[in-house]
Amino acid sequence: MNDYMTILKENGLKATFQRMHILEVIGMCGHKDIDEIYAEAIKTHPSISLATVYKNILIMTQSGVLVEVPLVGRKAKFEIKKDCHVHLVCSHCGDIQDEAIELVDADKMQKILSGKNFFYSHQEINIYGICDSCQKIKVS
């Protein structure tokens, strides 16, 4: 169980009911776009508005609680910030799986980029393919 109240406070945000609820939804569902998060959030709290969800997701992304995952040809998805990982993105259904690997380790990356005087911070990598369940649908 994640302590969302602590995560919010550590990032300088008030732990409002709306933010806690949005984090619960994302924590439960993984990578979701704003519409999907909203659709899930109103199931348990019908009073929450799309504008509120949208506004709080932006604030939590700016303050580093959430990370935006930009996707080719689809709406960006959001996840709770965690250790460096790559995303396996299904081109068919848009499903995203986390893969806990760093493709190029930070030291090596900094060495490669120092020639360009570019300071490395982190990597966000999407690897595209077809997921397990979509492969099964195509075969049957």
Site stretch for Zn ion (CB under 5 A), options 12-20, 70-78, 96-104, 118-126 = 96-104
The binder of Zn ion chosen from 37, 60, 71, 79 (CB under 5 A): 79
Question: Per CB under 5 A, which region of 18-26, 44-52, 70-78, 124-132 contacts Zn ion?
Answer: 124-132
Number of residues that bind Zn ion (CB under 5 A): 8
d(CA 138, CA 91): 13
Report if residue 104 touches Zn ion, rule: CB under 5 A.
Answer: no
Give the interface segment with Zn ion, choosing from 33-41, 42-50, 53-61, 75-83 (CB under 5 A). 75-83
How many residues are listed for the chain in this entry? 140
Which of helix, strand or coil describes residue 2? Answer: coil
Q: Please, which residues bridge with residue 88 across strands?
A: 97, 127
**Bridge partners, residue 68, by sequence:** 78
The DSSP element (H or E) to which 46 belongs, if any, is none
- Residues 6-35 touching Zn ion, rule: CB under 5 A, are none
CA–CA dist 51, 68 (Å, integer): 18
Q: Using CB under 5 A as the criterion, which residues of the chain lie in contact with Zn ion when the complex forms?
A: 79, 90, 92-93, 95, 98, 131, 134
